[in-house]
Amino acid sequence: MKQLKLTGFLFFFFLTESLTLPTKPQDVDDVSITQKFIEDNIGYITIIAFAQYIQEASFEEVEMLVKAMTEYRDKCLADMALPECSKLANDVLLENICTMEGLPQKHNFSHCCHKADFERKHCFLYNKKADVGFLPPLPTLDPEEKCQTYKNNRESFLNNYIYEVSRRNPFVFAPTLLTAAARFEEMTKTCCEEQEKANCFRTKAETFIQYLKALSSYQKNVCGALMKFGPQILKSINIAVLSQKFPKIEFKDLISLLEDVSSKYDGCCEGDVVQCIHGRSKVMSHICSKQDSISSKIKECCEKKIPERGECIIYSNKDDRPNNLPLREAKFTESENVCEERDADQENFMAEFLYQYSRRHPELSTPELLRIAGVYEDLLRECCNTKNPPDCYRHAENKFNETTEKSLKIVQRECEHFQISGKDDLKYHYLINLTKLAPQLSTEELTFLGKEMVTALTTCCTLSEEFACVDNLVDLVLGELCGINENRSINPAVDHCCKTNFAFRRSCFEGLEADKTYVPPSTSQGLFTFHTDLCQAHNEELQRKKDRFLVNLVKLKPELTREELQSLLVDFTNVVKKCCQAQGPEACFKEEGPKLSAKSQVA
């Protein structure tokens, strides 16, 4: 495979997640460059698609498919008139996966291979598993060994990295994974030249991991919205985000952009790697072709070459609000003809309301803007059936303010809790809460969600834009909890919050109590059996074991109060400290474990 050249093929974070454009004559060069990029990187693209669809597949099996797809590319480049070269790339990929001898039976996806076209694609999509606890831990190499492996065989090193990351992130869009691979290689090159290699990798990896996690959460959240609620909610998300980012864009231009929200977005969510990359590149071309009417902040970005300009645009600042933009749009609350205009074209009317409100309120989160739109829609449904509608909807701004005030109080309460409790106590609070709400989730999922809630608050609670930041990030955590697949089921109460109303799911979760349908395991399943591996665990690993202990304790004893659970966690910490300092740690654990178990029975 050739050099990985992909800096700008990053998805449009909080911006153009779903936009794709028709090919126009002026876009031909861009399309050609994108196509060349895909051809040059067919190996990496194949690894991502295969590892995401069939997460259990071995690296050797992935390499076999890469060989088959590379041969297919070479054959078609030599003669595009061949019948097989007219097929969609994703269809060819799935056909090759299905014809690999013994593979469908070995990894239990033969039922997908018996389907065709759309049904086959969706079958592979629903075969993906968000909870990757069934995979072995991510392999780690000593820094010196890592650098030597990279030096000896760069291609195999990067292939293996993309494979391991892709199978553990089955819903992350291919452009994001390709960009992550490029960043990973940059990090490897830099750190392998340093004297303190381990420290360099540790420092740079943290930023890198946060980058991948942030993009992963957003993509899963938006794809989950699309699959559970359909294209209309996706359109609303994009209206809110685009209008805030580019407040001077005219509504007709925004609609022109939104009209191109098409099946290519489905491609990104469904893992159609090639379709996703093509669509993303077209978006950047469209944005830059109309930059004068869209934003004053992207001129320098659009002067960059196609591979670099995407990331530049994504991270450009929000444009300034137009000076002539009044604080309110009178058309929606003061006009006598609101009901008539709504009835003439309800979808377009509501889209324009969301556009006008979003561009005037850069301080609000995306979920809050969707809540306001929902409140307005409900209000008009009520007002337009009264004798005097204008008197009814004239007070709409009060309703909007009330809605925002409720959301603001939730965020303020959470940030106050963070300021008082500190990170560890806050994490235990969320681990207990989340496990009581959704004990059916795996321990890995629950510990991840708890940490993400804490990350949201520690990231945002000291910022001036605290409200939007917290509300946006917590919404991503709820998106992780609810998952992508529309048929995911946790328990009746959680399912109701996940599937009833996308904008208001946060307030729905606020009202939930412990799941009353949950039946805990009849035995402790080794929860109180401890071994000397606890003594070998470093700080971070020991903290993970404590988190897992707490989650599993809640699963075993959901009836215990928060105070009782935290008391038992303190006892567990003390047992570890005592036994690891004892002359015979194993004997100490054998004695102390049953004591802690007995204490949990009477707590």
Average pLDDT score over residue span 320-339: 91
Residue 576 within any structural domain of the chain? yes
Give pLDDT, residue 488: 82
Model confidence band, residue 302 (pLDDT cutoffs 50, 70, 90): confident
Measured CA to CA, the distance from residue 239 to residue 365 in angstroms comes to 13
pLDDT in tens, 27-49: 445 677 777 878 888 889 999 99
Residue 10 has pLDDT above 50, yes or no: no
pLDDT in tens, 175-201: 888 888 888 999 999 999 999 999 999
Model confidence band, residue 19 (pLDDT cutoffs 50, 70, 90): very low
Q: By CB neighbour count within 10 A (0-12 exposed, 13-18 middle, 19+ buried), where does 34 fall?
A: buried
Residue 485 within any structural domain of the chain? yes
Instruction: Say which range, 2-11, 205-214, 351-360, has the weakest mean pLDDT.
Output: 2-11
Model confidence band, residue 259 (pLDDT cutoffs 50, 70, 90): low
Give pLDDT, residue 8: 30
Residue 556 within any structural domain of the chain? yes
CATH number at residue 577: 1.10.246.10
Which structural domain range is residue 590 located in?
Answer: 532-602
| C-alpha closest to that of 48 among 172, 226, 155 | 172
For 158, what's the count of Cα atoms within 13 Å in the CB-facing half-sphere?
25
Instruction: At 298, give phi and psi (nearest 5°).
Output: -115, 10
For every residue of 470-499, DSSP letters joined together read HHHHHHHHHHHHH-S-TT----HHHHHHHH
Of 464 and 457, the structure prediction assigns the larger pLDDT to 457
Is residue 544 within 8 A of residue 525, CB to CB? The reply is: no
Residue 282 has pLDDT above 50, yes or no: yes
For 321, what's the count of Cα atoms within 13 Å in the CB-facing half-sphere?
14
Residue 12 has pLDDT above 50, yes or no: no
- CB crowding 414-449: b at 16 or more within 10 Å, else e: bbeebeeeeeeebbbbbbbbbbbbbbbbebebbbbb
Is the same domain home to 429 and 501? Answer: yes
Residue 471 within any structural domain of the chain? yes
Residue 189 within any structural domain of the chain? no
Residue 453 within any structural domain of the chain? yes
Model confidence band, residue 268 (pLDDT cutoffs 50, 70, 90): confident
pLDDT in tens, 404-458: 999 999 999 999 999 998 888 999 999 999 999 999 999 999 999 999 999 999 9
Give pLDDT, residue 498: 94
Measured CA to CA, the distance from residue 46 to residue 336 in angstroms comes to 58
Give pLDDT, residue 30: 63
Model confidence band, residue 15 (pLDDT cutoffs 50, 70, 90): very low
Residue 304 has pLDDT above 90, yes or no: no
Last residue of a domain, one of 478, 511, 544: 511
Give pLDDT, residue 560: 94
Is the same domain home to 493 and 553? Answer: no
Name the percent of the chain in helix, strand, coil, to the closest 5.
Answer: 70, 0, 30
CA 296-315-405 angle, to 5 degrees, is 90
Give pLDDT, residue 291: 86
Residue 325 within any structural domain of the chain? no
Is the same domain home to 465 and 552? Answer: no
Residue 1 has pLDDT above 70, yes or no: no
Residue 18 has pLDDT above 50, yes or no: no
Is residue 235 within 8 A of residue 336, CB to CB? The reply is: no
Give pLDDT, residue 307: 57
Is the same domain home to 541 and 573? Answer: yes
Residue 554 has pLDDT above 50, yes or no: yes
Give pLDDT, residue 16: 29
Last residue of a domain, one of 453, 482, 511: 511
Model confidence band, residue 287 (pLDDT cutoffs 50, 70, 90): confident
Give pLDDT, residue 248: 92
Give pLDDT, residue 5: 34
Of 433 and 303, the structure prediction assigns the larger pLDDT to 433
How many domains is the chain partitioned into structurally?
A: 2
Structure tokens at 530: 């401890």
Percent with pLDDT over 70 in the chain: 92
Residue 280 has pLDDT above 80, yes or no: no
pLDDT in tens, 471-526: 999 999 999 999 887 778 899 999 999 999 999 999 999 989 999 999 999 888 88
Model confidence band, residue 141 (pLDDT cutoffs 50, 70, 90): confident
Structure tokens at 479: 């998106």
Residue 150 within any structural domain of the chain? no
Is the same domain home to 506 and 579? Answer: no
Residue 589 has pLDDT above 60, yes or no: yes
Last residue of a domain, one of 481, 511, 541: 511
Instruction: At 16, give phi and psi (nearest 5°).
Output: -120, 45
Is the same domain home to 456 and 539? Answer: no
Instruction: Say which range, 373-387, 403-417, 527-541, has the weakest mean pLDDT.
Output: 527-541
Structure tokens at 362: 């850069």
| Residue 27 marked in a binding site | no
Residue 312 has pLDDT above 80, yes or no: no
Give pLDDT, residue 265: 67
Give pLDDT, residue 429: 95
Residue 556 has pLDDT above 50, yes or no: yes
Give pLDDT, residue 17: 28
Residue 144 has pLDDT above 60, yes or no: yes
Give pLDDT, residue 279: 75
Percent with pLDDT over 90 in the chain: 58
